[in-house]
Structure 1
Amino acid sequence: MTTPTNDVCLPETEHDLVAVGCGPFNLGLAALASTVEGLDLVVLESRPELRWHPGLMFDEALLQLSFLADLVTLVDPTHPLSFLAYLRDKDRLYPFYIRERFHPTRREYEDYLRWAVSRLPSVRFGHQVESMAWDTGRQRFLLKVLRADGQRLSLAARDVVIGIGTEPTLPGALASLPSSRLVHTGSFLHRLEDVEAARHVTVVGSGQSGAEVALHLLQRNLAGGSAMSWLTRTVSFAPLDYTKLTLEMTTPAYVRYFHALPQVTKDRLVAEQWRHYKGISTETLEQLHDLLYRRELESGLADVELRCGVAVEAASVSGSGDVVLRCRHLDTGGTFEHTTALVVAATGYKQRTPGFLRPMDGLVRWDEQGRYQVRLDYSVELAPEVGGRIFVTHADLHSHGVAAPDLGVSPFRNATILNAVLGREVFALPRRTAFSRFGLPGDAAMSQGDAPTTRFVGPAVTSGDPAPTRTPRREAS
């Protein structure tokens, strides 16, 4: 049944586009759309205000990307909601210039996001979307919304963007531990009282979040704090692959190439390219080593243990209340038990499944792993009777590659969505974004007249950007 029934007549408004969720990606959508005349966009967020990873907001933690990866710059560098416009408005342009660091702190970046929110009346906090259905007669999506003040209302929209983000995930080996003995990194700073009370804290998992928690625990250890361990199944405490040509995998050129690949190939590549989006910043690794080196000059400190190549296979709580982890050393196959008081799970996040889509069961196309089937323009495959479009942000890792969680590709994705919604190129999308050419020589490259004259047989995968017709210059990526 695609036409919803209304038990109660709710106050209703109609819009061109409704975006659900207000993280940086949908906030960027609202920012770009704010300069488009005639577009009625509303962004709905269940939380009372914008908070960006508050459980990991360490004072000196840096954004892993340049300030150019703001809400708008890589599509429209003159936009009034750019990071540089924020610095000018806050009278911090010269201090930022003299600082000579392209990477803002995460705290500063959150302040920038909140500054942008204050200039976007289209963003509505305290609005929880309870259900969404397709009305065949009106050819509109109908969203039932609960406001923080208890009032319910209905919104009708021609198109919808879902950007509800991800949620913490736990492996089965840790899922049985009681909450008093387990903290996910996403809640770390909210559980500091538990962390500081534990005589021994063990971080399980890697990535930037795990490294920042390990750094915090190591700093406490040097100040006379508790013992700490860091266990990860990766073969090393691997750095983020931030080399220039590897970064071209976050460009629109690679996104177009990646999207055309068979799904089995895409899943393999995402797994192989984990260091691009799950690695640890070199600066954090250097800070960790510096602290470990400093410990050599101290005595009487609690123990510190770092082990890589270790898989945690099971966890339990002993009679004395300690956590016992059963571990396997992956290189040798040997097993051992690790005892600790508290586990911090640096085990990542998974795609959040929106409960409000239940009225559209059978209308949204999912793959065999329960993921959206996402077109190149970020719209989801829907049943033929649905005349509107659902777009997704940050739910496209499996379809568009490792650029999906990257803030730098967000303006391109949002501009693509807005162009599709408006049916015209309101935002000029960049054509040359990578020097690398991905895949076989194809028609797009050959048409430029400067690609190799390689002859090939078999199905072609769309290459990256068109070949340049003159000496290329480096672009920001």
Structure 2
Amino acid sequence: MSAPADVVAIGCGPFNLGLAALASTVDDLDVVVLEARPELRWHSGMMFGDALLQVSFLADLVTLVDPTHPLSFLAYLRDADRLYPFYVRERFHPTRREYEDYLRWAASRLPVRFSHDVTSVRWAGDRFVVSGTGVSGAGFSVEARHLVLGVGTTPSVPTALTGLGDRLVHSSAYLHREVTADRVTVVGSGQSGAEIVLDLLRRNLDGGPAVTWLTRTPVFAPLDYTKLVLEMTTPSYVRHFHSLPQDRRDAVRAEHWRHYRAISAETLEELHDLLYRREWEHGLAPVELRPGVAVTSSSTSAESGEVVLTCAHRDTGRTFRHHTDLVVAATGYGQAPTPFLAPLEPLVRRDEQGRYVVALDHSIALDPSVTGRVFVANADLHSHGVAAPDLGIGAVRNATIVNAVTGREVYRLPKHTAYTSFGAPGDDGGRRDGRSGRDGRSGDDGD
């Protein structure tokens, strides 16, 4: 590029794609998205045909800040001539396949450079220089005034399960693996684990493998999707959470696991229905569900090749061994590594736990000599709370970034987002966001 881009966004997931979408209608804002993969793929290893998005279609790339945007989900439906089928369906939650198709539709209309693997980012005195390997192995270099990091997450496997080789598959790759084992054990009880167990139970009813489900949690817990709890995914709660000291944020966040690491009530009902159906069948391989169990170590037998899991029952303290042929680790994700930031690392300020220090506008703390800004997308769970990975906050986060890099209010941020007052009276971080106060005014200014 002959001139620096205003923003280079590294990674093409829903969040950075949403940033490019919002920027696409701003005449004086140039955003380029770089993606290492040759095409957009979204959780392909968990793309079950009947799986639904867990949020409303309103949590698309743009609607919650600009419902008239040409890259909204409704615009996609209109372009695909599916508005009426979607309307008659009367379900606000699209299927995951439909949502992925929507993302690809949007990406085809935006400045996304696929097959561009970023290998280095450095500060060159007045701009960032982003370098890497492009199409057919050719090198590339792009300059930018600001950066947005949206590299997403990477599968996380606990130490207790490492060393199992091809006897282990992470949930993210489940549908990429042909399951032929006679005994399958799923470890972990979030939504991904539950959907895999659901698939395995269906196979079991058709004469398929024995199924065991182990989880550390005391119960197979449902997601808390009650309305006032969902207000924790609103900008109002994000502002309150960010206003807390970091040690308090960490303590509060640990209490919120049922909001994003549990199982939808609909999935739990389907699981129970399948278990009930097994009552009328005979000769099926066994099924075992055990909550409150921690896997402490694992090994493979040299003679039989089977997997042996050493487990601890958390209520009784008893240990036992569990034998299986394949382990599916539904054990979540961690932040994807960013080795390309090594040249920039001396200029990055981190907290005591090595995490980014993230401002309310999602920019990270840098050395004062750096006049450009680096923003993060979905790397701010510790600073912005439970809403950080939620698709419903993506448009607001991106509008905040657009406003920050342009220095003006391009997008009006929502003010009335929750009925709950999260802070103490008079606390700026938790002022009323609703309209039920005695003075009848909204308490938040949307900053």
What TM-score results when the alignment is normalised by the length of structure 1?
A: 0.90
Equivalent residue, structure 2, for 1:182: 168
Report the Cα distance in structure 1 between the residues aligned to 2:33 and 2:160, rounded to whole angstroms.
Answer: 38
Distance (whole Å) between structure 2 residues aligned to residue 384 and residue 462 of structure 1: 30
| Mapping for residues 10-409 of structure 1, pairs under 5 Å | 13-120=3-110, 122-136=111-125, 139-178=126-165, 180-191=166-177, 193=178, 195=179, 197-319=180-302, 320-409=304-393
- What's the CA shift string for 1:43-102, capped at 9, x where partnerless? 000000000000000000010001111000000011111111111111111111111111
Cα RMSD for the two superposed structures: 1.3
CA deviation after TM superposition for structure 1 residue 466, in Å: 6.6
Report the CA distance between 1:372 and its aligned residue: 1.1
Asked if the contact 1:13–1:154 (Cα under 8 Å) also holds between the matched residues in 2, the reply is: no
Distance 1:340 1:271 in 2: 32
Deviations 1:95-153 (A, max 9, x none): 11111111111001001111111111x111111111000011xx100111210222112
Alignment partner, residue 433 of structure 2: 465
Which amino acid in structure 2 is aligned with residue 352 of structure 1?
A: A
From the superposition, tell whether residues 237 and 466 of structure 1 become closer, same or farther in structure 2 (CA, over 3 Å). closer
Partner of residue 437, structure 1: 421
**1:345-364: CA deviations, max 9, x gaps?**
00000011211100012101
Match of 2:445 in 1: none
Cα 1:35–1:369 shift into 2, 3 Å = same
Regions of 4+ moved over 3 Å: 461-464, 466-472
Is the aligned partner of 1:427 residue 2:411? yes
DSSP-derived class of the 2:280 partner: coil
CA-to-partner distance for each residue in 1:192-216, whole Å, 9 max, x for gaps? Answer: x2x2x21100000110000010000
CA distance in 2, matches of 1:212, 1:35: 38
Structure 2: how far apart are the matches of 1:51 and 1:17? Answer: 23
Q: Per-residue CA shift, 1:299-327, capped at 9, x if unaligned?
A: 00001111101010110111321100011
1: distance between equivalents of 2:3 and 2:186? 48
Distance in 1, Cα, partners of 2:389 & 2:408: 26
Distance 1:221-1:471 versus aligned 2 partners, 3 A rule: farther
CA distance in 2, matches of 1:471, 1:150: 58
Number of equivalenced pairs: 439
Amino acid at match of 1:17: V
- 3-state SS in 1 of match to 2:254: helix
Q: Relative to 1, partners in 2 of residues 1:443 and 1:226: Cα closer, same or farther, differing over 3 Å?
A: closer
1:176 positional shift: 2.4
Residue 402 of structure 1 deviates from its aligned partner by 0.3
Amino acid at match of 1:342: L
Q: Is the 8 A contact 1:12 1:153 kept in 2?
A: no
Task: Report the Cα distance in structure 2 between the residues aligned to 1:269 and 1:296, rounded to whole angstroms.
Answer: 42
Amino acid at match of 2:124: D
Query: Hey, what's the Cα distance between the residues in 1 that align with 2:140 and 2:208?
Result: 52
The amino acid across from 2:119 in the alignment is: E
Query: Could you tell me whether the CA contact under 8 Å between 1:33 and 1:418 is conserved in 2?
Result: yes
Determine if contact 1:205/1:346 at 8 Å carries over to the other structure. yes
> TM-score scaled to structure 2, two decimals?
0.96
**Cα deviation digits, residues 21-57 of structure 1 (max 9, x gap):** 0000000001111111111110000000000000000
1:414-473: CA deviations, max 9, x gaps? 0000000000000000011000001211265xxxxxxxxxxxxxxxx543527555499x
Distance between the aligned counterparts of 1:31 and 1:427, measured in 2? 13
In structure 2, do the counterparts of structure 1 residues 471 and 399 end up closer, same or farther at CA, with 3 Å as the change threshold?
closer
Q: CA deviation at 1:387?
A: 0.8
Cα deviation code 1:245-286 (max 9, x no counterpart): 000000000000000111111111111100101111111111
Amino acid paired to 1:204: V
Partner Cα separation in structure 1 for residue 268 and residue 369 of structure 2: 53
Q: Is the 8 A contact 2:60 2:391 kept in 1?
A: yes
Question: Which segments of 5 or more consecutive residues in structure 1 lack a partner in the other structure?
Answer: 1-10, 445-460, 473-477
What is the letter of the counterpart of residue 145 of structure 1?
G
Q: Write the distance in 2 (CA, Å) between the matches of 1:230 and 1:434.
A: 37
The one-character-per-residue Cα deviations of 1:154-189 (angstroms, maximum 9, x if unpaired) are: 1111100000000011111112222x1100000101
CA distance in 2, matches of 1:292, 1:186: 25
Distance 2:77 2:6 in 1: 32
Q: 1:443 to 1:254 in 2, by over 3 A?
A: closer
Q: Distance in 2 between matches of 1:12 and 1:310?
A: 58
User: CA–CA distance in 2 between the matches of 1:61 and 1:433?
Assistant: 28
Give the secondary-structure state (helix, strand or coil) at the position aligned to 1:361: helix
Q: Is the 8 A contact 1:132 1:360 kept in 2?
A: yes
Gaps of 5+ in 2: 443-447
